[in-house]
Amino acid sequence: MAATLGMGSLGEIREGLASGDLSSEALVRVCLDRIGRYDAKLNAITFTDPERSLEMARAADARLQNGERGTMLGLPMVLKDNLNWSGLPVSNGSKIMEGYRAPYDATVVKRLLESGAIPIAKANMDEFAMGSSGEYSAFGPTRNPWDIRRVPGGSSSGSIVSVAAGYAPFALGSDTGGSVRLPASFCNVTALRPTYGVLSRYGVTAMASSLDQVGPVARSAAGVAAGFSVMVGRDSHDSTSVDLPGMERLASLKPAPLKGLRVGLPKEYFGEGLDPAVRSALENALRVFEREGAEIIEVSLPHTAYAIDTYYLICTSEVSSNMSRFDGVRYGARKPGESLAGMMSATRESGFGPEVKRRILLGAFCLSKGYYDAFYMKALKARTLITQDFTDAFGKVDIIATPVSPGVAFPIGDKTLDPMAMYLADAYTVTTPLAALPCLSMPGGFLEGLPVGVQLIAPSLSDVKLLETAHAFQQLTDHHLKTPPELN
Question: Does the annotation count 405 as an active-site position?
Answer: no
Q: Which of 229, 228, 290, 235 is nearest to 261 (CA)?
A: 290
Q: Which one of the listed residues 91, 133, 137, 155 is annotated catalytic?
A: 155
By the 8 A CB rule, do 208 and 461 touch? no
* CA dist., res. 174 & res. 176, Å (int): 7
Q: Which one of the listed residues 115, 179, 220, 405 is annotated catalytic?
A: 179
DSSP string, 283-331: HHHHHHHHHTT-EEEEE--GGGGGHHHHHHHHHHHHHHHHGGG-SSSSS
* CA dist., res. 120 & res. 166, Å (int): 12
Question: Does the annotation count 155 as an active-site position?
Answer: yes
* CA dist., res. 9 & res. 189, Å (int): 11
* Residues with Cβ within 8 Å of residue 325, at least 6 apart in sequence: none
Question: Does the annotation count 133 as an active-site position?
Answer: no
Contacts by 233-241 with C-beta closer than 8 Å and gap 24+? 235/107, 235/200, 235/202, 237/107, 237/200, 237/202, 237/203, 238/107, 238/197, 238/200, 238/201, 238/202, 240/196, 240/197, 240/201, 241/197, 241/198, 241/199, 241/200, 241/201
Q: Which one of the listed residues 80, 122, 415, 465 is annotated catalytic?
A: 80
| Residues with catalytic roles | 80, 155, 179
